[in-house]
Amino acid sequence: MRLTQRNCCRANAEVQQPGYDRGRLSRGMLHLGLGAFHRAHQALYTEAAIRAGDHRWGIVGVSLREPRTPRTLAAQDFLYSVTECEGAAATTRIVGAVVQAWYAPHALEEVLGAMADPGVAVVTSTVTEKGYCQHPSSADLDADHPDIRHDLAHPDTPRSTLGVLAAGLRRRPAGAPLSIVCCDNMAANGDTLRRLLAQYAALTDPALARRVRDDVAFPNTMVDRIVPAATPASRRDAQRRLGLRDEAAIVCEAFTQWVIEDRFAGPRPAWEAGGALLTGDVRPFQAMKLQLLNGTHSAIAYAGQLCGLQTVAEAMGDPLVGAFARGVMADLRATVQAPPGYDVAAYSEALLQRLRNAALDHRTAQIAADGTQKVPVRWLPALRASAGTERPWLERALAAWLHCLRSGRSDSGHALAFDDPGAPALAACLRDAHSDADAVRQALAHAPVFGSEPWPAPLADRLARHLAVLRAGGAAALLSS
Ligand code: CS2
């Protein structure tokens, strides 16, 4: 029996039900990027606000790239379950906050109509770092991106995130306040999205660019929850706990955090009801999380991929990779500015514990994707701030990534193919080089990822030595050297 509005009362008794009348929900929030992360994070905070009695915040979910999730949700009256796991303990709930789900290429009029609706006061987005068509090192618009070129030529039938936001805004009545809340793992994500959207709008419509800059609010946010992509096994496990068939089931960790800059143009859901922290300055929280969690994650992903370790928990259980992860985190901690009053040592220990959560099937290949977007945010700020001071483990992480791109093989010879549109250009620099030193020189000069400011020569020398060790003895040799 499938999860639907009619059947949800047949779920196992311990499953938490939405507990409110979904028929009373109106649409108040539109979300771009309907992946598992949104549905296990912002949607749950919104669910809490609705459960607290405010029925304005039904979510219209929009998928820009893949039709499967909207189709699956539509077949379930937009209901899905979230199972939160911590070791052997698990709790499952049914989420009712989503009231509509569209695949944008098939429902563009509806999507733009919803963005123009004054009743929709908040737009959130999780479209991944590359979904904003930016140059990762400068966070400026990549005006040559094929989707941006398409949208500039066809502004009324856009396919990029920026194109959809701009087209929706153009239709929106001037007096209707709007807040656009970026929930992707980028530094100053709200400020960045504002700048990118203003840069995009300025290419065709200066009045719209002014409106983006002056009228729309773009609060910065720090989002945190480990939500692995679903696998057939995780779906089976979730369905067993739910007692119903749920093709959109999510399994994630129990931990969740959302820190949001309190800067909205109009009304917003009371996300505090779900534990969100509304605060003045989110940037220290972002830096801490992006570097300590995401930075360590990426290091585990590349070392794990080289060593044939398929999940984060497996990699953490490996003595060499586990110790390496701890070392990378300590290196990152050396330059990170913690939010006032935060105990970074305790935060780091808690992170290591989360990374060891064996109940999650979090694939190293998933985290290894889009390195050319992630590395500039997660590792390079610490290396820049170190100004040549050695960060032994973080530098090994960078060498491991470059080695993955250069060799395209794990240590045992398996092909590594990370999903990363920016990688071929960097890999070509590495492969064209005639020595390890030349490979490093060419890579560090690849401005889209490493920026245009020169890097310290001693850092380049150390990276070249690491590449030589990797070529000769693989990750095991590098991590034990
Ligand atoms: C991960 C993140 O895939 C990745 O790059 O590092 O998705 C990570 O799991 C989340 O940011 C945790 O909040």
Q: Hey, how many other C-beta atoms are within 10 angstroms of the C-beta on 272? A: 15
Phi, psi torsion values for 182, nearest 5 degrees? -75, 130
Indicate the SS3 state at residue 284. Answer: helix
For residue 69 and ligand 1, the question of a CB distance below 6 A is answered with no
> Is there a contact between 34 and 64 (Cβ–Cβ < 8 Å)?
no
**To test ligand 1's pocket by mutation, which of 84, 285, 286, 294 has the most ligand atoms within 8 angstroms of CB?**
294
Indicate the SS3 state at residue 91. Answer: strand
For 452, counting Cβ atoms within 10 Å of its Cβ (0-12 exposed, 13-18 middle, 19+ buried), the class is: exposed
**To test ligand 1's pocket by mutation, which of 128, 367, 374 has the most ligand atoms within 8 angstroms of CB?**
367
Span 290-479: which CATH code? 1.10.1040.10
The whole-number pLDDT of residue 87 equals 84
> One-letter amino acid identity for 80?
Y
Cα within 13 Å of Cα(275), Cβ side? 10
Span 8-279: which CATH code? 3.40.50.720
366 Cα nearest atom in ligand 1? 3
Characterise 120 by phi-psi region: left (phi > 0), alpha (psi -120 to 50), beta (else): beta
For residue 226 and ligand 1, the question of a CB distance below 6 A is answered with yes
Cα torsion through 464, 468, 469, 473, rounded to 10: 150
The whole-number pLDDT of residue 88 equals 87
CA-atom Rg of the chain in angstroms: 22
Long-range contact pairs involving 149-155 (C-beta distance under 8 Å, separation at least 24) = 151/200, 152/200, 152/203, 152/204, 155/204, 155/205
374 Cα nearest atom in ligand 1? 5
For residue 294 and ligand 1, the question of a CB distance below 6 A is answered with yes
Strand partners, 300: none
For residue 185 and ligand 1, the question of a CB distance below 6 A is answered with yes
Residues 6+ apart with CB under 8 A from 34: 61, 62, 63, 69, 70, 73, 101
Angle at CA of residue 65, ends 361 and 17, nearest 5°? 55
Give the strands of the sheet with 257-261, arranged side by side. 221-224, 257-261, 277-279
For residue 367 and ligand 1, the question of a CB distance below 6 A is answered with yes
Q: Ligand 1 center to residue 226 CA distance, Å?
A: 6
370 Cα nearest atom in ligand 1? 5
Q: Kindly list the distances between the CA atom of residue 158 and the CA atoms of 170, 225, 309, 399, 462, in Å, as whole numbers in the listed order.
A: 12, 30, 40, 39, 46
How far is the C-alpha of 311 from the C-alpha of 7, rounded, in Å? 35
How far is the C-alpha of 75 from the C-alpha of 239, rounded, in Å? 16
The whole-number pLDDT of residue 200 equals 98
Q: Give the DSSP letter string of 381-433.
A: HHHHHHTT---HHHHHHHHHHHHHHHH-B-TTS-B-----TTHHHHHHHHHH-
What pTM value is reported for the model? 0.97
Q: Kindly list the distances between the CA atom of residue 211 and the CA atoms of 32, 81, 120, 291, in Å, as whole numbers in the listed order.
A: 20, 38, 17, 33
Q: Ligand 1 center to residue 109 CA distance, Å?
A: 32
The pLDDT profile of the chain, 481 residues, written as one tens digit per residue, is 999 999 999 999 999 999 999 999 999 999 999 999 999 999 999 999 999 999 999 999 999 999 999 999 999 999 999 999 998 899 999 999 999 999 999 999 999 999 999 999 999 999 999 999 999 899 999 999 999 999 999 999 999 999 999 999 999 999 999 999 999 999 999 999 999 999 999 998 999 999 999 999 999 999 999 999 999 999 999 999 999 999 999 999 999 999 999 999 999 999 999 999 999 999 999 999 999 999 999 999 999 999 999 999 999 999 999 999 999 999 999 999 889 888 999 999 999 999 999 999 999 999 999 999 999 999 999 999 999 999 999 999 999 999 999 999 999 999 998 999 999 999 999 999 999 999 999 999 999 999 999 999 999 999 999 999 999 999 999 999 8
- Domain ranges for the chain: 8-279, 290-479
Indicate the SS3 state at residue 64. Answer: coil
In what helix (H) or strand (E) does residue 314 lie, and over which residues does it extend?
Answer: helix 312-317
Tell how far CA 177 is from the center of its chain. 26
How far is the C-alpha of 177 from the C-alpha of 175, rounded, in Å? 6
> One-letter amino acid identity for 126?
T
